[in-house]
């Protein structure tokens, strides 16, 4: 069944008249006849988990809003900067009105009259499409003083970012909307209590909100059954790398990762080069080995992937993450498939340079640590590794994760430890081949 990708390939569906002819805005008309709390109950029953990265249940998040709040904001996270991730871009390009409809239902459920869509600066085409769709929705009475004639006022604005990965982190995104520098804020307070302009705010990913109309149409229980226990419905994944058919596909939550690669993406591009590694959920997520991919593509399924060993930071002191294990996750829904022959040290170095460049610099472990990881990985990849570099990488990575204001610190730690642990032989071989000569400190 196609829900999110139903209108892919249909240029006309971007226009409100066609979108309505295809059944669009019916879920919104149904939703405004329900009480906000009933919508939240349906979304909870649908087991909709956030598609932005952390997989937090959407209905539960909406339930955190203070009951007595007068002004509440809904903010759509359309920043999509995670390497490998491009599903929100396609969703907004093909179906802007589904996003507007999902936002209207979610905002009404959250007792909000104000929606901001914060879109990544580089997505010029998609921002223009959204702006046009929002104008159309105002003219057609979907937005404005009385949303679909319900008497509920609803305003929506598209806000363009300026191309900083860190502005995808929800609190720096809120600062950016306020015109401040995109620095993440310390949590708590969480945005649901104190968000944009100091008011309670729900931040949700594009795809999370685009899933809401289907929950209202089908009912929460029926929607939940499309997926697996604890993770209902369907989701979009962006698949790239050495597969035959890279692209965006809609899958039932919990489909096997191996089946996604073999069936949806058509398998590997060269039959003589099997899978070497798979990044399952955007570049922040630990890489998987070929034998680990026959697992359900879900938070629980990938959470059971092979444990990565503990890292000793200093004698007797170990890096403990989530109970001492480091496992993977579907994260932002981006699958990057790498074939035999891929230089994993070079891939890891490239990712580390990305994170070092995007660190906002507020926290010392992230600012300094990501720079060191990038520098050491790059010299290893270039055949200039130095004795002790692998231990340096481990210790530096382990001291970033969990010690920073925002999760970018973890986002640099997890892939580093993932690559280093799972492809240790390759890192060791690269070090052994190093031509670095220590000429002493002058």
Ligand X SMILES: Cc1cc2nc3c(=O)[nH]c(=O)nc-3n(C[C@H](O)[C@H](O)[C@H](O)COP(=O)(O)O)c2cc1C
Residue nearest to ligand SF4 (CB): 366
Is 359 among the residues that bind ligand SF4 (CB under 6 A)?
A: yes
Q: 211 or 359: whose CB is closer to ligand SF4? A: 359
Positions in 108-137 near ligand X (CB under 6 A): none
* Interaction residues for ligand SF4, span 176-215 (CB under 6 A): 184
182 and 212 in contact (C-beta within 8 Å)? no
Site for ligand X in 193-212 (CB under 6 A): 203-205, 208
Interatomic CA distance for residues 387 and 88, integer angstroms = 43
Element counts in the chain: helices (H) and strands (E)? 18, 11
Beta carbon nearer to ligand X, 138 or 190: 190
Give every CB contact of residue 223 below 8 A, 6+ residues apart in sequence: 45, 46, 47, 48, 214, 215, 232, 233
168 interacts with ligand X by CB under 6 A: yes
Q: What whole-number distance in Å separates Cα of residue 319 and Cα of residue 326?
A: 10
Cα 98 to chain centroid, rounded: 19
Q: Cα–Cα distance between 348 and 185 in angstroms, integer? A: 28
Q: Does 404 bind ligand SF4 (CB under 6 A)?
A: yes
| Least distance between ligand X and beta carbon 173 (Å) | 7
User: What's the closest the beta carbon of residue 53 comes to ligand X, in angstroms?
Assistant: 4
> Shortest distance, CB of residue 206 to ligand SF4, whole angstroms?
22
Give, in order, the Cα–Cα distances in Å from 32 to each of 36, 105, 106, 107, 108: 8, 8, 11, 11, 8
Q: Closest Cα partner for 359 from 409, 311, 299?
A: 409
First to last CA, the chain: 68
Smallest separation, CB 433 to ligand X (Å): 34
Shortest distance (Å) from residue 89 CB to ligand SF4: 23
Given candidates 170, 292, 339, 426, which one binds ligand X under the rule CB under 6 A? 170
**Among 406, 416, 417, 420, interactor with ligand X by CB under 6 A:** 406
In the list 77, 240, 283, 362, the residue contacting ligand X (rule: CB under 6 A) is 77
Chosen from ligand SF4, ligand X, none, partner binding at 54 (C-beta under 5 to 8 Å by type): ligand X
Burial of 17: CB neighbours in 10 Å, binned 0-12, 13-18, 19+: exposed
In the complex, least distance from residue 12 CB atom to ligand SF4, rounded to whole angstroms: 42
Interface characters, 409-438, with ligand X (x: CB under 6 A): --x---------------------------
Among 127, 226, 366, 377, binds ligand SF4 (CB under 6 A): 366
Provide, rounded to whole angstroms, the least separation between the CB of residue 54 and ligand X: 5
- Measured CA to CA in angstroms, residue 186 lies from 40, 126, 346, 403, 409 at distances of 27, 31, 33, 12, 13
Count of residues for the chain? Answer: 442
Partner from ligand X, ligand SF4, none contacting 175, C-beta within 5 to 8 A by type: none
Up-side HSE of residue 324: CA atoms within 13 Å toward CB? 3
* Residue ranges in contact with ligand SF4 by CB under 6 A: 166, 184, 359-363, 366-367, 404-406, 408-409
* Residue ranges in contact with ligand X by CB under 6 A: 50-54, 56, 77, 79-82, 166, 168-170, 203-205, 208, 406-408, 411
């Amino acid at each position: 069944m196609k829900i999110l990708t139903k209108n892919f390939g249909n240029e006309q569906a971007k226009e409100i008249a066609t979108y309505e002819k295809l059944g669009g805005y019916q879920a919104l008309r149904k939703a405004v006849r329900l009480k906000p709390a009933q919508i939240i109950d349906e979304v909870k029953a649908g087991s909709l988990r956030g598609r932005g990265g952390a997989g937090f249940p959407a209905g539960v998040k909406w339930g955190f809003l203070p009951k007595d709040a007068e002004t509440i904001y809904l903010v759509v996270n359309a920043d999509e900067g995670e390497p490998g991730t491009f599903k929100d871009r396609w969703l907004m390009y093909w179906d802007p009105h589904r996003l507007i409809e999902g936002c209207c239902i979610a905002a009404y459920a959250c007792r909000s009259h104000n929606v901001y869509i914060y879109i990544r600066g580089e997505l010029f085409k998609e921002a223009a499409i959204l702006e046009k769709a929002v104008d159309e929705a105002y003219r057609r009475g979907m937005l404005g003083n009385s949303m679909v004639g319900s008497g509920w006022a609803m305003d929506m604005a598209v806000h363009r970012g300026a191309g900083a990965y860190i502005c995808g982190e929800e609190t720096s995104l809120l600062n950016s909307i306020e015109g401040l520098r995109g620095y993440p804020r310390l949590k708590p307070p969480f945005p649901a209590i104190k968000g944009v302009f100091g008011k309670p705010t729900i931040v949700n990913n594009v795809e999370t909100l685009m899933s809401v109309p289907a929950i209202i149409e089908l009912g929460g229980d029926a929607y939940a059954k499309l997926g697996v226990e604890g993770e209902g419905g369907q989701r979009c994944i962006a698949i790239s790398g050495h597969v035959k058919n890279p692209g965006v596909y809609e899958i039932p939550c919990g489909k096997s990762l191996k089946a996604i690669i073999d069936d949806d993406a058509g398998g590997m591009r060269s039959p003589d080069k099997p899978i070497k590694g798979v990044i399952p959920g955007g570049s922040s997520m630990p890489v998987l080995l070929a034998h680990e991919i026959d697992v359900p593509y879900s938070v629980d399924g990938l959470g059971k992937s092979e444990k990565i060993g503990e890292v000793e930071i200093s004698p007797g002191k170990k890096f403990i993450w989530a109970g001492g294990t480091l496992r993977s996750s579907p994260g932002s829904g981006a699958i990057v498939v790498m074939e035999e022959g891929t230089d994993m040290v070079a891939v890891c170095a490239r990712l580390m340079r990305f994170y070092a460049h995007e660190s906002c610099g507020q926290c010392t472990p992230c600012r300094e640590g990501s720079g060191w990881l990038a520098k050491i990985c790059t010299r290893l990849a270039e055949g200039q590794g130095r004795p002790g570099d692998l231990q340096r990488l481990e210790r530096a990575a382990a001291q970033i994760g969990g010690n920073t204001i925002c999760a970018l610190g973890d986002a640099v730690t997890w892939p580093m430890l993932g690559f280093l642990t799972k492809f240790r032989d390759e890192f060791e071989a690269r070090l052994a081949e190093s031509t670095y000569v220590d000429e002493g400190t002058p």
